[in-house]
Every structure is written in C-alpha cells, then in structure tokens.
Structure 1
C-alpha cells in the first residue's frame, strides 16, 4: 500500500505569521521516525468554506490526513463543522469529555460558559483520543478508505496524543515497520550548483538513501535520507553514502545536522589550543557575540574590540595614522594592521579583523558591500581577503560574519 500522508493546520493566526506552524514540522519528524512519508503540508484560515475545500482536496489525494487546530470552544473553531460538510457524519457530545470540562471549571471555581461544551463535541463513530493535558479530545475517523486524525492545535496537547495514541494506531493499522533516518551534510566555500555537479552521478542513480542538495544560510547542504528496518541499518546506509560524497567534496565539509560554522571554529581552536581576539568595525561586535553564545567559548575567546570610528582604530587599537591617512580605514592595509594589533593587544594566538562599508552610503570612495577581513596569527601568518557582498545593511554585516568564520575554518584546518 502506498501511504500518502497529509498534514493540515487550521488557524488564521498561522497565515498571519503570528505563530509558526511548528506542529506540522514535529508531526512530520515523528512520522519519519516510524517510516511514514508526508506528501503535503497545508495551512488554512478559520473560514468554513476554505477549511471544507482543503478537506475535500485532501480526501481525494491522501489516505492519512492529520488535522491540527480548530477544536476549541469559540465561533471560529470550525474543524468539526467543515468535516461534517464533507461526510455528513453525526456530531454528538462525548460524555466523559464534558464531565471532565465541568469538573475543571468547578475546581477552578470559574463559571463555565455554554460555548465550552463545544470542546466535547465528537463524531459519533470516532475513536476518541483522550486529552490528558487539555480540554478538547482528539478523534480518529475513517471515511471512504481515508483515515482522518483530528488533534488540538496546542502543541503540548497535540504531542501527547501523537506519542501516546496516534503513532501506535498508525503502526498497527498501516503495517509500516520501517523507519526513516535523515542526516544533513553541511559545506562552505562551494556553491550549490558546483556541489550538485560534483555528485551528479550519485544523484541520478540514487535509490536508498536519497540525496537532496539544499541551500542554507551557512553555505550549502546535502540531505541524505535512508529507509530501513532498524535505525542501525539506516545509519549504515547513510554513512556509506556520506563517505562516497566526502571523498569528492570533503574539502568543503564542515559539519552535520545542528553543527554551525561558529561551533566548528571553536572546536578547531580548542583542538589546536589556540585563542582568538577580534577587532570589529562594520560588524560592531556581532562576530564576538556569536562566538560567546556557544557554550565553552570562554576557553578560546579572549574578547572583541568594537573600533568603529577611525580615532578608536588609531588611539585604542593602535592602527598607525599613516595607514589610515594613506590607505583609509576600508582597505587591505587597515584590515591587516587591525588583525595584527588585536592579536598583540589580547595576547591571542589569532587575531581577526572586519572593516568595510555596510551602507547606506559609500565611504572613502568604496561602494556599499565592500568588505575586508584580516587574519593574523602568532606564527606570523597574515591574510586579508576582500569581498563585495550584496544586500542591505544588515545582510552585508551578517554575510561578513559568515565569511569571517569561513576564513577561520579554512585557516584552522
């Protein structure tokens, strides 16, 4: 049986961006761990015609539909009513649920308004999912060979039902025993198109695991997804493909899954027993802030100096007046001297510097997006790289930090 699972989230607040649809993400992860693929995610507002339309579409294309939200007590909680339009199923009041709701209000010494009875409304032929942490029960019903699972939108209520009842139910009724395991391989310093070209034959001939190149905020990635009867065998399939990929593009590889460039740089600094200090102009402390946000950074990070104005570069950091006069603050020479001076000032093994033009106007005849990053170490090795980065002011600053970590990663490797 080809199982096509769909997740529909009901709630106008999701469409307005007031809250993120984390429910669908979490449910997809749990289903994947149990070998079930999700084909569609949908979000629909609190409008009975649109909810009904979304349900009609799901009924035609999916054989498992999981709905979150719209089971509350208010007028805009319309999930039950929209499904009733599709199926004509009878809605009744669930006795144990209404008793639970009444008891709650009595214990809280609060008046129970009539609309709270709505939370106990269920379809007559539904399998009821008890809500141990909230009011409205969940439901499972079958309609024309499609399994419909209705869950509250409150994440902790939904998660309890999925873990305790939905996953066991689906395992039993679908017969799916496999698990789906995914790993993200992360790369920096190589474009998505070049990366894909390097492993093109592996992508064309993929079976298990599957291979999907992706763009990230920090470089690019390859997602490997394996299906197997056990987690161990799935991981074995992933490791075999990972080895094949890294044999080709391993020079650009920096981590997996939750790894970040900053965390990898800290790991490498610790490995080499190196410390680092930063002189930051256009980045204004962002590099140091990102580093010290990572636990354990205190063992390698000496600190940072925000030297935004030329006088601070000269009088505090010690950049020579001649360098500033002859070359300007946005220059290779200034970046080089900043990296050397911060290395000496903080008695660090490595100094890194950032200077450039983030906007909104040109500076020293340099266009917006001009960036210089310098690195100096106690062995006397110095490099300066110039970049022309696109974007608005904040994007340029963010991309500058990323380039700094990329250069450090390559330097430390």
Structure 2
C-alpha cells in the first residue's frame, strides 16, 4: 500500500499541491500510511480523526441536518468531510473515509459499507471552486481488512483524480500548441 501513498505524494509534490485527510472508520490509518513515506511533510498538511458523529459537524462542517437524517455512513457525508478538511487545514486536496468496519451495523448500514471521498482544487460540476468525487464500497473481511482496504481505496481514488487531471492538462496543452484544433 505504501507505493500508492508514495505515488500520491510524488504527484502532489510535482504540482506543488498539498493534502489533508479526514478519517472516521480508518481512525488515522490513512495519515499513518502517508507519513510513513519519507518527505511526506512537503505535501501533507495533517489529518482530523472525527470518529464521533457530532465532531463531523463541529470540526469539519458537515451539515447537521444531513447527519440527523442519514447518519455518518453516507456518500454526501464523505464528500462534505473531504471538502471540510481541505478548508479547515488549508490544503489543495482533501480525502475522507466513513463507513462501518464492524463488528456491528451502524446507522442502518451493514458491516463493510464504506464511502471514500476526494475533494480538489478544480472547478466542480456546480461551477463552485473545488471538485469532488465519492466512491461507494462494499467490502468483505474482518474489521482490520475493511479498514486497510478503505485506506487503499481512498489513496487510489486520489491517484485516479490526479492522473485524470494530468491527462486533461496534457490534452489542453497539446491543443494550445497545435493552434487550438
């Protein structure tokens, strides 16, 4: 898994961009994976572990009505956590994990239900600054396996977003260099 964190940090460093992480079910494992890479401090701003639902609202700015209606295990909650940590810690990119690692269901969701999110600096669909993406996961395994796969998945989601932006930027440059056609 460390290769994913290393590649994320390499790409962010090359772009002079920073990263912050909001974690729930992973309880700091994403931050630990990132900081295990030498030189992570050039890119990594920090993390917030909001295990308690009320802290998601108080610290990360997740909508209280959303939390009341749907609970903490929800794709919109994950998206708001990623956006919130990005703002709170002054980073270019925010990551978030929320879900049920077990052993019991939570908020009406079965064990293995996980949402991971990324929020970055590009313009979102609504035209507002910052764009985001959420992935819904249905994971099998014990508590440790679910948490480890959540870490891998959120790093892979960010890597996918960074690679997609890199491809888009390369196409834009190519179009400019070839007279805009």
Q: TM-score, normalised by structure 1?
A: 0.37
1:260 is paired with a residue whose SS is helix
Q: Within 5 Å, give how 1:287-326 maps onto structure 2.
A: 287-326=30-69
Q: In 2, Cα distance between the equivalents of 1:260 and 1:378?
A: 24
State yes or no: 1:390 paired with 2:140: yes
Report Cα offsets for 1:200-240 as digits up to 9, x if no partner.
xxxxxxxxxxxxxxxxxx5xxxxxxxxxxxxxxxxxxxxxx
Is the CA contact 1:343–1:378 (under 8 Å) kept in the aligned structure 2? no
Corresponding residue to 2:104 among 361, 384, 388: 361
Report Cα offsets for 1:230-272 as digits up to 9, x if no partner.
xxxxxxxxxxxxxxxxxxxxxxxxxxxxx71111111011111
User: Aligned residue for 1:283?
Assistant: 26
User: Aligned residue for 1:38?
Assistant: none
Q: Within 5 Å, give how 1:41-190 maps onto structure 2.
A: none
Q: In 2, Cα distance between the equivalents of 1:264 and 1:315?
A: 32
Return the offset for 1:408: 1.1
User: Aligned residue for 2:80?
Assistant: 337
Is the CA contact 1:350–1:376 (under 8 Å) kept in the aligned structure 2? yes
Q: Which has the higher contact order (CA 8 A, sep 6+)?
A: 2
Q: In 1, Cα distance between the equivalents of 2:4 and 2:61?
A: 30
Is the CA contact 1:282–1:355 (under 8 Å) kept in the aligned structure 2? yes
Hey, which bits of structure 1, 4+ residues long, moved more than 2 A? Answer: none
1:362 is paired with a residue whose SS is coil
User: Aligned residue for 1:262?
Assistant: 5
State yes or no: 1:405 paired with 2:155: yes
* CA RMSD between the two structures: 1.1
Is the CA contact 1:327–1:333 (under 8 Å) kept in the aligned structure 2? no
Return the offset for 1:378: 2.2
Return the offset for 1:312: 1.1
Return the offset for 1:366: 0.7
Q: In 2, Cα distance between the equivalents of 1:392 and 1:403?
A: 16
> Number of aligned pairs?
156
Is the CA contact 2:117–2:157 (under 8 Å) kept in the aligned structure 1? no
Report Cα offsets for 1:330-378 as digits up to 9, x if no partner.
0011001101100100110000000000000001111100000111112
Q: In 2, Cα distance between the equivalents of 1:349 and 1:390?
A: 32
Q: TM-score, normalised by structure 2?
A: 0.83
Q: Within 5 Å, give how 1:6-25 maps onto structure 2.
A: none
1:390 is paired with a residue whose SS is coil
State yes or no: 1:273 paired with 2:55: no
2:159 is paired with a residue whose SS is helix
State yes or no: 1:371 paired with 2:106: no
Is the CA contact 2:100–2:111 (under 8 Å) kept in the aligned structure 1? yes
Return the offset for 1:406: 0.9
User: Aligned residue for 1:75?
Assistant: none
Q: In 2, Cα distance between the equivalents of 1:316 and 1:352?
A: 15
User: Aligned residue for 2:70?
Assistant: 327
Q: In 1, Cα distance between the equivalents of 2:54 and 2:78?
A: 15
Unaligned runs of 5+ in 1: 1-217, 219-258
